[in-house]
Structures are given as C-alpha cells and as structure tokens.
Structure 1
Amino acid sequence: MAARAMFCMPAQTRLAQACATLLLASSGMAFAQDAAPTATATALDAVIVTAERREQNLQDVPVSVGVVQGDAMREFTTGGDDTLLALSGRVPGFYAETTTGRIFPRFYIRGLGNIDFYLGASQPVSIIQDDVVLEHVVLKSNPVYDLDQVEVLRGPQGSLFGRNTTAGIVKFDSIKPSDDFNGRLAASYGSFNTVSLDGGFGGPISDTLSFRVSTLYQHRDDWVDNVYAGPSADGTVTPKRDAMGGFDDRNIRLQLLLEPTDNFSLLASAHTRDYDGTSTLFLRNAVTRGSNRVDVPRDQVAYDEAQDNPQAYKTHGGSLKAVYDFGGVALTSISGYQTTSGYSRGDTDGGAAADYPVNGVPNGYGQSMGQVRDLDQYTQELRLASTGDAPLQWQAGAFYFNGKDITDFYQRAYFLQGGARNPNNWVRLRNSNTSWAGFGQLTWQATDALTLTAGVRHTRDAKETQLLKTADTAAGVVTYRGRTDVRLSDTQPSWDLSAMYALTDDVNLYTRVARGFRGPTIQGRSAAFNADFTTADSETIVSWEAGIKTSLLDNRMRLNLAGFTYTVDDIQLNGNDSNGNGVLFNADKATAYGMEADLDWRPIPNLALTAGLSLLRSKIEDERVYAQVCALNGVVVCTVNDPTIRVGANTFAQIDGNPLPNAPRYNVNLAARYDMPVSDSGAFFVATDWNKQGETSFVLYDSTEFTASGNFEGGLRVGYTGGYGAWEVAAFARNITNEKNLKGAIENYMAAVYNEPRIVGVSLNLRWD
C-alpha cells in the first residue's frame, strides 16, 4: 500500500484525501475479492496500444497512457455532443474546452494547453488521427467516428510522433478495412430534434483488396431564442424564436487496403466534412461580481448583432500509408494532405449594448469574424523499424511538415449598415509553418524483467506571418504602423529515457524522463486593431514520471498509477489587451506536479466498473509578468485577488504563483454497467457515467468570478441487448441533472459560457459480421 500512496503527494488536502480514498478503496476491493468465495467474473481483455509506434500491451509500455475504446466514446456522444469535447473529463489528466464553437476545441494535458482563440494559435497538445498529425486549430476539430480506440499519451512526446509537443498527444484510430464483411451503426434521437448517426461497414473486394466506408451525421435544431427587441446596427432580425444553437455536421470517409503480398500493404484513406452551425453563445452579465455562480437561462440570449452567430467549415483530406517488411526490418511511409475553408462570426459582447447603458448611452458593442480562406497542410513521414522479438529493438526516421493558410479577421464596423460602415475594417494574413525532424529510438530487454528505452529527435521549426491587408479607415487611409512580415525559427532536440521493471508477472514498475519543446509562435490578429504583432519564443519542458501498472484478481482488475513533475522554461502564455485581443508573451517558467490513476474492474459477473482520478498543482513562476484584467471603459468589473498596477487607463495583475489556466486541480470520472441476463443471447442493462472537476481558473490572474469549482455531469442508459451483442436498444440521458457548468468567460463583459443542456432520447446500436 505504501508504494501506491507515494504518488498522492502532499497530504492534508481534499485532493490528497480523494487520492487516498481511491487507492485505499481499490486495495480494499482487492482484499475483499481475495477473501470472497470464487464466483468467477469475466477477465479483462488485453488493451493493445501503439504509444511507441508498435503494437504493445498497455501494461508493458513505460508511458502514462489513458485509453478509451470506441464503444465507450460513442456512449459519451449519444446526445450529439462534440466528439472531441466529449472526451474531456473521461481520461485522467485530459481537459478540453471551447469559446469558438464546435470548430475550435482547445486541449490540455496535465494542465498544459493554450487559451488563445486566434485561428493561427499553436497548441502544446498534438492531435493525431489515423497516423496523421493535425496542427491547425480548425483541423484539430475534425470529429472522430467509426472509432476503434483513443489513446491519450501524457507528458512530452517529442521523440516518435509528428510535431513536437510539450503536453502530450491524443491519438485516434479508426476501424480499418478487413477481409471479412462486417459493419456497425450507432443511431440516436433526442431532445431538440438531436440526431446522431455513427457507422461503418466494409469487407473484401478481392483476395488482395478490401474497403471500409465510415460516416458521421449529427444534427440539432436551433433551440435558443433571441429575446432582444430593439434596433440593430447590422440588420440582425430580432426578436426571433429558435434563432441559434443548432448544427449540422456531415462526414464521410473511405478507406482502401491493398495487400498483394504477405510483406506489403498500402492503406489509402480520404475523408470530407461539411459543417454549419452556431458559434459559442456568450451570456453577458451572467457572471455576478463577487461570485462564480451563474444561473441565467440557457435557452435565450439578447443579441443585437452578428446575424445569429453563424459558423461553417468544409474540410477535406487524405493519406497513404505503405508498409514493406524486408524481413527483420520494416519500412513505413505515411503521406498526408489536409485542406479547409470556412468562417465563424459572433456577438462577442454576449448581449445588446442598449441593455447596458452608461449615462443613458448604449455601452459595449462587440462583433467579429474569423475566416480561413484557404489552408493546405502536407505531412510526410518515413520510418525504418526492426521487427520480431529480439532483445534489441530499434526504429529511426524522418518527418516533414508544411502548413500554409490565408486567414481574414473582420471587426464590427465592417458589418454595420449606413454611414457607420467601414468596408476596410478587416485584415488578411498569410501564415506558413515548416518543420523538419529526424528521430530514433532503441529498446533493449536487458534481462527478463528489465527493459530500457531511449529516444531522440532533432527538429527545426520555422514560422512566418505576413500582413497582406491592413485595417484601414473607411476612406482607405492606412493607419497601421506595426510590422508586416515576421519570421521566427528554432532548432531543438527532444529526448526521453525510460525503464520498465517486471516486479512480478502482474506488476510492472516504470520511470521516465523526457524533454520536449514547442517552437516560437506569432500572434498576427493584433493587426485587426492596428496593433503590432506579438510573439513568443520557444518553450521547453523537462518532465519526470514514475508509475506502476498492475493486473490483479486473476486479471479482473487493472489499476495503473503514475506520479509526475515537470518544469516548462520560457512558457508561452496568452493574455488579452483592452480590445479583447490575444497578446503572446513568455514567462520565466511554470512548474507542476500531480498524479493519475486508471482503474478497470470486473468485481462480479455482469458488472463492469471503471474509474479515473487526476490531481494537479501547477504554478507560474515569474515576478516580472503581468496580465491585463477584466475592465470595461477603464473600470475593473471583476474581483482581482492579485496585486495590480495601472499603466495608463489599463489595469494589470501580477500572475506570479498563479495556476495555469484551464488546469483543473482534480478530476474524477466513474462509469458502471450491469447486465441482467434473461436468456443465453439477451440481457437488460443499466449503465451510468459521471465526472467531477476540481477548481479551475479560466484566466491567468486570480479572480473570484472566472473560476469553476465542483463542475460535474452524469449520464444514464437503460436498455436491452440481444443477439449475443449484435444489437442494443436503450433510453438515455446526457447531463442528466441539467447542470449549468461555467466553462469559460469573456471577462470585460462578465459573459459566461455554459456546457451543453440535458439531452434525453433513445438509441439503437447494431453490429453485423
């Protein structure tokens, strides 16, 4: 028990107590089962992961990996939830949020992420779908469907995968073509006319060629009323029932697998997405000064502008993966191409200015639109790797990345009607990013019990942002005086060392140290306000980790624990200026420590339990760094608990010692399913899942209002499964208690962002072979 408890770090806190409770409970459960009569429960299946670019048992990998199977992921999205945001809180150490709708989720692992809503923002979490790294924030929103498995690789993963990452990787693997005809369909219908269809089918075309077609369709009717009844400066029609909140997300993917010989395979994949819906709805003054409680209606807004917050994107892409086994050595080539275009527009003040007058004058107008006119991303990876089971395994390769886009940003005056309109109130940027890397890894089984691994990567990362059009006056006068072409580059090594020791057949101990880096970043959107670009230099991280992976109770319980600590030097942070515009800067460093626990248990026949716990303490360390606080018309509108200074009309808070933004201090997730057989082939079942989030700050400075504490959501499914698992019908509820959780804010307008409402409905799952 002492070995388990050591990962819970400082005692005498509620988080430490929660950690101890879970570990004691798991030990107590193990003891109780050992002592009980042997009523055989189903053993756990092995979980196979590719965290080191090879197929390995999860328990044999010296990395902290959270795994969600495709069926479990589909349960979370039954109610039409965004397929990526739905993963938040379901994997210890992983968090996701958005203030830009379904098209722009932001990801955090162990507290590291980026709160910037800029369309060219760099993120320290990499998203990899079917072996292709997705770098641009719009590409990262590509939904996952017909999913086989999700792997969340925690901590720096700079040696083997795609782009460098200081936080970790979320890796999605779709179901691949096979030489047997098979298929599956998950269909649901719920509140607000919410429809979700997630399916795939395929099989052999010939002896050497097979296919799989996969699709996702999600729809929700508009369900949010716009109750504003005054004039609109941009022609928005108000009031209007069922004006916003809906979406249509249409996706299809085709895969072809050619296997002409036993030692060669070629997998070709092409996909397309057509999405339109509503960008994030902000609720002005939903946050009350002096409290973080919010309780305003979720189904109505009062917007005077922005034409109902429309959002639409089209994305296409494809990849080729070729593998040739020379006998003892395999060569893998992965080529990828992605493109997208679209826009997102919103009433960013979250309300009608006429409803918030100052001295009888409407106060606080805000509207903007970001538009990606064209984006092209090319990736190429070549990798040589040893095969077989020799004591020494190796792999080496090279990676190339090239991403280019043209992006426009439009401000309010562009949309106005009459004499107030300024048709020149927008900017156009050209962004480019190229990266070259060489990498390698050695794994040596030194003894029957001890395995050592070392990996290294050398990367050059270069970025350029050009201002193609400035935000001029209505008469066409150029007032911008900042830079119009900024180039940054850096070359850095990444590496990791790890050791795995098999204490027994069922208990593995491991330790790992890793270094990663994130290249320099440019914030070009500032030019929309005639402000110069802001930039941030590269950040680097060194992370230490130790853990235990266990298979207990005759393989009926899998309990994995990891403790970690890291330091990020020159951490890239993002604040806001007086226009709400993102400002990049580096702080000296950030430090953190914490732990994760993953539990999968089959205590009795027909009962499955899973649980996860993450604990985190993070801290920004730089006495020289300040962030601008919530202010409207020069007046601070929220409660700032940090020391502040005034610079002109603006107020800045010292953020030294504060936690990283969107870094929950703890997260607990629980899920259970119990089947009640009524025949050899069928059973009634009840399943539930819950997650609870600890204190989380949404901003860099310490405020009373812009924090969440105790957010939680739950889901329930009750139904019948028949045909030996071939079909299932159920009634379900997502966010069953209809919790109103604060997920983000626009500070100067005290505007809140809520989570999704309760969705109740029915679902049907089918499988066929």
Structure 2
Amino acid sequence: MSIPHRPAHLAAAIFLAGSGLCAGLAHAEPREPQSAAEAGNPALPKVVVTAQRRQEAAQDIGAAISVIGGDELKEKGVSTVNDLQHATPSLEIEPAFGSGQPQFRLRGIGFIDYTSNNSSSVGVSVDDVAFALPIQTQGLLFDIDRVEVLRGPQGTLYGRNTTGGTVNFISHRPTRDLEAGIDAEYGSWNAWSTEGFVSGSLADNLRGRLSFITDQGGAWQKNRETGQELGDKDKLALRGQLEWDISDTLDAHLTLQHAYDKSEGQGLRLFEDYNQAGRHIGADSKRRHTGWSLRPEFAAAAGVSGGAKPHVDNTNSSASLAFNWHLDGNLLLTSISAYNELRRRELGDWDATAYADSDEYFDDRVSSFTQELRLGSDEKQRLNWVSGLYYSQDRLNEKFNSDFGDRLGFMTRTSYVQKVKTVGAFGQLDYAFNDRLKGILGLRQEYEKRSLDDYFSGFIDGTQFDGSNVNPFPQHTSFSNNGTSGKLALEYQLSPASLLYASFSRGYKSGGYTAHNSGNVLALEAFEPESVNAFEVGFKSDLSDNLRLNGALFYYGYHDQQVLSTVWSPQSSSLVGTFVNAPRSRIVGGELELLWQPLHGLEIQQYLGYKKGKYTEDFFTPDSAKTVAAGTEVYDNNKGDELSFPKLSYGGSIAYTWPVAEFDLRAETNFSYRGQYKQLLLLGSDYNLDPYWLVNANLSLTPRNGNWSAGIWARNLLDKEYDLTRNFFLPGTSVAAAGEPRSVGLRVSYRY
C-alpha cells in the first residue's frame, strides 16, 4: 500500500508537536522509562562519550557528534551499518549494485566504488579498532552500548585517517556482577533473530562477557518469472571478551569474534524496459520483483554450484588486545593490537534478468593487522593531550568473474593482490586559557605505500584464461603518499549549559587504483590523494532542564576530489572507466539536532541536515555519447556543476511512556526523510533517486519491577516504495536496489 500524501502530513504534525522550529535532534542514550506519577521535573540525560579518547559529556565537546544508544538502535531497526543512514543527519550508505560493498558518504564526502580495494572517506571502527576496507563493515551489529557518529575530518586523535568522518561502535563491556539477557524477534517474511549475552566476574580481578546474535529468514523478493523467493538470511556472530585487572595501574582487554553469513543476496529490479538482442522484459512495476540466472559455464568458471541463487558465503574473524597502563605523572599509555581476516564469496546478478548480461562472482580474502600506541594525560586538567603512533598492514586477494555471455559473447576474470602499509604519527592537545575559553591544536603526519601485484583482467574460454588483453599488465606496480592533516579550534563556554566553538581541520585520503574489469592498462594508473579543508562553527546548548538544541555550519574546500569517470583509450578506441581527480570543489551545509522532554515519559527528538556542493574549477571529462560517435575524445567542462548527493536529510522520533496498572507502556515512532539524489556526472538524470519518507513504530510493555518486556514493531509502516541506488553495468540495462517494504513483528526480552 502506498499513501502519497499522508507522510508529509504526518511529518508536519510531528514537527509542530516536537518544537515548532526547523531543528533536529541530538541523539542520546535512552534513559530508563519514567512513569507519569513520578514527581519532579524531567532532566536531560548526560551522554558520556569517548570520541576524544577520554570519557566526557558530549555536550562539552566542540564538534558535531551524534550519539545513538543500543536500545535506540533496535527501535530504529538498525541491524547493520547500512541502516544507520536513516538515524543520523548528513550520512548516506549505498550498497553497490545491491551487493555487500557499501559506499559511505558523510556531509557529501565519500568514495563510490563497486570493487573492494580502496579505503573509504568515512571510517568505521568497533571498540577502537578501525576497518581497513568498506567490505569489512558488513557484519551484524549486536550487544552495542552506543554508536558515535563524528562529522568532519578525523585523524589527530585516531589511528586511521578519514576526510569525511568516523562512525564508532562501542560494545557493552564485561560486568562485575552476573548479568544475562536474551532478545528474540519474529517478523514478516518468516524472519527471526535472537540476540543474547552473559556477563560477570570469573575471579576477583577477571571479568568476562559472551554475546551472540543469529538472523534467519526474511525473503521478501520474488523472481518475476518463476515466483521463487529470494532474500532469506542465514547469519551468526559470536563475541567473547575478557577484562583483566593485572595490577592497580595496568589492565588488559581481550576480544575475540567470529561470524559467518550464508544469506541469499538482494536482487535488483529493472526500472526501465529491457530490450537487448531481440529480448524484451518490461520494467518491474513492483519493487519486490527481480530476476536472475546462472549459466553452467559461468558456474564452473566461478566454482559455484549450478542453479545457485544470488548469495554470499562470508566468514569474518577478528581478535584485539588492549592494554591501559596508568603511569606516574598522571600519564596513560594505551596499546591496541588487532587482526582481522575476511573471506568474501558473493554471487550477484547485476542485470536482474534470466540472461547473462552481467552476472558477477567475487572471491576475496582480506587480512589486516593494526597496532596503535597512545600516550597522553590521564585525567582531565587544564592541559590535556594525547599523542600516538599507528601502523597497519593490509592485504587483499581479489578475484571476480563477470559473465556477459548472452550480451557480448564472453566471460571475464579480474584478479590481483593489493598490499598497503600505513604509518602515522598524530597528536592533539587542548588548553584552558581560563574557565570559559579553550584552545585545541592537533597534527598528523601519515605515510602510505600501496602496491598491486599479479593484476590480470582478461577473457575466459570455458573455465580457463585464453590470455586475451587489450594491453599487457605490469606484474608489479606501486606508489607511496605522504600526507599532513591537522586541527585548530577554539571553544567558548558561554554559560554552564551553552558552548560555542569554531574549528579548522584538514583531512587527507591517500590515492589508489581502479581495479575494474576493463582489460586496459589505463585502469592501473593510480589516482592522486585528496584533501579537504574544513571550516566549522557550532553551538551546543541546554536551553532549559528539558530542552537541548545543538547546531553546526560547515564549509569544505575539496582538493583533488576522487571521482569515478572515464578516460579515452587510443589503443582500444574506447572509453575506460577509472577514477580521476577533480581539481577543486566545495561543499557547504549544516545540521540542527533537538532533544525535548516536555513532561515525564515524553521524549521528542529531531534532526535536520542540509548540504550542497559544486565543482569550482575547470574539470574536463569525456562526453560519452559524443566521444563514441566521433571516435575520439570530446570533453565537457563540469565547472559549476553540482556534486552528486542528496541535499536534505531530516528525521527524529517521538516516544511516550505511561503507567498501566503494574506495567509501563511505551509507544514510539521514528521517521526519516532523504531528499532527491541527482546522478549528475556519470549516469545522468534517468538514474536520479526520488526523495522518500520512512516511518517505523514500536509498542512495548514492561513490568515496573520486572525483568522482561514484550512488544510489537513495524518498519516502513506506510509501505513506502523507494530505491536505495540506481545504476547500470552495461548500457541499456537499468537496474535499482529497492528498499525493503513494510514488515511487522514481535519482540520479547528477558534480563537476569
């Protein structure tokens, strides 16, 4: 059911009820429900974060940070990193062709690629351990205490450098007292999940925690021709933690995690008619419809079983060991060692038909080792500082096969080994000139070496390479980058509950390789690093005991922006897809976040984000149609053209808890809006994404002195039809990854 006008009316009602202001919310840790019978005035929660490498209230930090608690993630239906884009302003996460390769963008800063080898402009970490590649972020989120979304360049406090921002997930830690819990959900499409934990002391100075999650079912798509279902999940993740107080000044924290994902993949839909080689398929009128096929020859070449559906077969294992040593002189020395190993096997049908137009199979092995060493002041004082050294070594073995047998008459295979070594030195200090004014200075220097070995992209004859390439590829190529980034900021405490800040920061992202299946040596020409000069002013204010309003304005000067485009190849007389650097561009925008608790039991949250950008210097790219027609390069100048991302993001929630006999009844609804997404540079207006609203709802019942709860939930309550991304792999095959339709379900929880 699609209701075209009601979402706008609902949003207006929520907006007026929430604040009467064009404002957004500061996400906060959910507090324990309060009954209306309680006396006194409601108090805003104090949200404690570790975004600056020490515990402090988020309201005391002069930076744009959104914090979402673990229970709030469940209410908003955030079970993977991708879902987070509907819970915070200015964040977009696109699944490349509906696959497991996410494409992050924060405040318009992002990197869009379907292969696995390049780092993201937006960092993702779990418990201070950052992921090297976006594909490593696709596990289930479970046993999470909170997530901290930091907007703007990061690097003077963090081991891994980012230009767009950082998303930090912080899991629950082991407890001294024995605790246990289990949550179970069952919903539409026969989907169910179970999450649980047990935590407590194993000895006087040793604590442990074991947690798990499993996710099953949920096939909401159908083959348009056969009616066969697609989309059942089969996921399991386990995490074990040990916390050891070695002495009064030294403690250690060990985390081991293993996960597998054997789920069916998401199918794409045709949003335009398919007419190729005398074959016709009408555009899919229902977003649940999709199509797929697997030729026996391609199955044999890829090493998968014949007749397989689009699916993944991934395993992910990680280990981290952290030491905190409190030294004499009020110093804290921290060491974090981590290792992650991912095996990705993913079969996708990117043409969404029963024909071999562009079927893809990825077989990746990723291994990452990181070592971070930090030394800094131990307790908050007039001068606070932290310094650090960071080292990482990453290796990616990628092999992906493509089947164009029915369209072009051949299959291809691309394979290579990429190695990356990164060394960084960073530090930041803040100094309180007086009780109100604080200055902040940060600096980072980074060196990275990136190499590509044994690169091959060629045709397959049956199950073997036939050795055909447009150009021979070098067996080894490498480059290195040196980058400097930093931060300069002032914070002014206007009153005990109001903070003003202004900052300049420079973000830096290294270059890389376009590792696509082009069969052309031009693809191996490295693109250059990019940098962002970010200016930001903002405020944080508790306007009263029950009203909080935060805001920020930013201006980004983008230098050598890494953009997917094409270049002309004289050898093959064709266009080759590759990343290029746009000399200059800029992004301006801002966010507002609101939290209001007008009376006991009622909490209203809202956020608003707006951004726009454009190329500000000459930036020439080939005009595809004119170039092909002329047989030589014909260029367009993109100076003045808009950058491709949604300009507007808006959302929030309303929750009310009231007493019913011996129980507390909580009703909650959350909503989000994403503006139009224009595909301006490479794809064109046919691939624009329409704006859309999403609304979720929850109703739960909890005994006031009990240890269980039960409830019902609805996601995409208004059954909005929308697309997450639109693209094509070969011209004439226009596909989209549809968003999930309405689903409803039950949730029960028990705590000991």
Structure 2 length-normalised TM? 0.86
AA matched with 1:501 = Y
Note the alpha carbon deviations across 1:63-120, whole angstroms, 9 max, x for none.
110111111112223xxx6421111131112121213546322221101111211111
Matched, 1:297 2:286: yes
How far off its partner does 1:715 sit? 0.4
Note the alpha carbon deviations across 1:439-497, whole angstroms, 9 max, x for none.
11111111001111111111001111123544245373443414323212111111001
Q: What secondary structure, in the 3-state scheme, does the structure 1 residue paired with 2:718 have?
A: coil
The 10-residue stretch of structure 1 (520-529 or 147-156) with the greater mean CA deviation from structure 2: 520-529
In structure 2, the partner of 1:350 is 352
In structure 2, the partner of 1:33 is none
In structure 2, the partner of 1:456 is 443
In structure 2, the partner of 1:25 is 21
Structure 1 pair 725–562 and aligned structure 2 pair: CA distance change class (3 A): farther
Q: In structure 2, what is the Cα distance between the partners aligned to 1:388 and 1:226? A: 60
Whether contact under 8 Å (1:658, 1:701) holds in the other structure is: no
Note the alpha carbon deviations across 1:673-713, whole angstroms, 9 max, x for none.
1112124x521221100001112124535833222232111
Matched, 1:678 2:660: yes
Q: Give the one of 256, 267, 284 matched to 2:242.
A: 256
In structure 1, the partner of 2:478 is 487
Note the alpha carbon deviations across 1:247-297, whole angstroms, 9 max, x for none.
2111010000001322111000010110022334221244899xxxx9721
How far off its partner does 1:181 sit? 1.4
Q: How does 1:197-346 map to 2 (within 5 A)?
A: 197-228=194-225, 239=226, 241-242=228-229, 244-286=230-272, 296-305=285-294, 307-327=308-328, 328-346=330-348
Whether contact under 8 Å (2:237, 2:258) holds in the other structure is: yes
In structure 1, the partner of 2:699 is 718
How far off its partner does 1:21 sit? 12
Structure 1 pair 571–144 and aligned structure 2 pair: CA distance change class (3 A): same
In structure 2, the partner of 1:690 is 671
Q: In structure 1, what is the Cα distance between the partners aligned to 2:398 and 2:548? A: 47
Q: What secondary structure, in the 3-state scheme, does the structure 2 residue paired with 1:588 have?
A: strand
How far off its partner does 1:765 sit? 2.5
Q: How does 1:81-480 map to 2 (within 5 A)?
A: 82-101=79-98, 103-228=100-225, 239=226, 241-242=228-229, 244-286=230-272, 296-305=285-294, 307-327=308-328, 328-353=330-355, 365-372=357-364, 374-412=365-403, 425-472=412-459, 474=461, 476-480=466-470
Q: Give the one of 549, 556, 570 matched to 2:560.
A: 570
Q: In structure 1, what is the Cα distance between the partners aligned to 2:348 and 2:567? A: 19
Sequence identity percentage: 24
Q: What secondary structure, in the 3-state scheme, does the structure 2 residue paired with 1:85 have?
A: helix
Structure 1 pair 765–544 and aligned structure 2 pair: CA distance change class (3 A): same
Structure 1 pair 388–99 and aligned structure 2 pair: CA distance change class (3 A): closer
Matched, 1:511 2:502: yes
AA matched with 1:113 = G
Q: Which runs of 5+ in 2 are unaligned?
A: 1-13, 26-37, 276-282, 296-307, 569-573
How far off its partner does 1:169 sit? 0.3
Structure 1 pair 216–103 and aligned structure 2 pair: CA distance change class (3 A): farther
AA matched with 1:284 = L
Q: What secondary structure, in the 3-state scheme, does the structure 2 residue paired with 1:160 have?
A: coil
AA matched with 1:175 = H
Whether contact under 8 Å (2:24, 2:608) holds in the other structure is: no
Note the alpha carbon deviations across 1:128-148, whole angstroms, 9 max, x for none.
111101011221223321000
Structure 1 pair 468–115 and aligned structure 2 pair: CA distance change class (3 A): closer
Across the aligned residues of Structure 1 and Structure 2, the Cα RMSD in angstroms comes to 3.0
Q: In structure 2, what is the Cα distance between the partners aligned to 1:287 and 1:499? A: 56
Q: Which runs of 5+ in 1 are unaligned?
A: 1-17, 30-37, 229-238, 354-363, 630-635, 637-642
In structure 1, the partner of 2:723 is 742
Q: In structure 2, what is the Cα distance between the partners aligned to 1:515 and 1:256? A: 37
Q: What secondary structure, in the 3-state scheme, does the structure 1 residue paired with 2:21 have?
A: helix
The 10-residue stretch of structure 1 (700-709 or 429-438) with the greater mean CA deviation from structure 2: 700-709
Count the aligned residue pairs.
695
Whether contact under 8 Å (1:452, 1:498) holds in the other structure is: yes
Q: How does 1:32-71 map to 2 (within 5 A)?
A: 40-71=40-71
Q: What secondary structure, in the 3-state scheme, does the structure 2 residue paired with 1:192 have?
A: helix
Q: How does 1:656-667 map to 2 (within 5 A)?
A: 656-661=639-644, 663-667=645-649
Whether contact under 8 Å (1:116, 1:582) holds in the other structure is: no
Whether contact under 8 Å (2:642, 2:680) holds in the other structure is: no
Q: What secondary structure, in the 3-state scheme, does the structure 2 residue paired with 1:697 have?
A: coil
The 10-residue stretch of structure 1 (219-228 or 67-76) with the greater mean CA deviation from structure 2: 219-228
Q: In structure 2, what is the Cα distance between the partners aligned to 1:536 and 1:647? A: 27
